[in-house]
Amino acid sequence: MANHFDLQEQEQLDQIKHFWNTWGTLITWVLIVIMGGLAAWNGYQFWQGRQAQQAAALAEAVEAAAQSGDLVRVEQAFGDLKSGYAGTAQAGQAGLVAAKALADAGKWDAAKPVLAWVAEKAADEGYRALGKLRLAGVLVEEKAYDDALAQLSGSFPVEFAAMVADRKGDVLALQDKKPEAVAEYRRAYQALDERAEYRRLVEAKLNALGARVDAASAAQPGSAA
């Protein structure tokens, strides 16, 4: 009986050896690839976390410098953030903060390239949209109306439709293009919720141009007739 068990064990060992000789190399490489992939993923997650932490620290530096009025530090910190961590959400947010600080100080020439970068390069589409809107505002201050309209003619997330139409109306009104301005203000009015205070402002602009908000313009999309 002992010899019978010994033979069975030997057969099992031989089968294991045969299996390993046939598939062992492949199994080893599969395990190496899996473990390497896990190590790479963990490394990437760690790197991403470090990137976010460092970007957040620079974004806080931009915010602090803006609050203290240190415009040299604002530009320096944002430059470091843009060059090292351009793909982070913090870069787009800090760009808007930096541009506002520069614009508030009347440094339009310094604010414009910051906003242009946010409008084109920010990782978040919402920040890109705000960058375009605020860049258009700076261009309006410089009376570069056609350039402002060019910024507003691109693609925007749907939630920005009212703001874009309102800003277009502002530019067209400054160009004495009253019918076009009224059309844009009406688009803005229609896109806004009837409870929004912003809607009252758009209505006031329409009134200033001698236009009235008719029933078709006042009706909200999807509302009952």
Given this model, what pLDDT does residue 10 score?
A: 66
Tokens 């688009």 identify what position? 187
Given this model, what pLDDT does residue 223 score?
A: 40
Given this model, what pLDDT does residue 143 score?
A: 93
Per-residue confidence at 135, pLDDT binned at 50, 70, 90?
Answer: very high
Residue 1 pLDDT greater than 80, yes or no: no
Where does residue 116 rank: exposed (0-12), middle (13-18), buried (19+ CB within 10 A)? Answer: middle
Residue 43 pLDDT greater than 50, yes or no: yes
CATH annotation of 11-218: 1.25.40.10
Given this model, what pLDDT does residue 213 score?
A: 73
Residue 68 pLDDT greater than 80, yes or no: yes
Answer yes or no: pTM beyond 0.95. no
Q: Give the pLDDT mean for 142-150.
A: 94
Q: How does pLDDT run across 149-173, given as a tens digit for each residue?
A: 999 998 899 999 999 999 999 999 9
Given this model, what pLDDT does residue 218 score?
A: 46
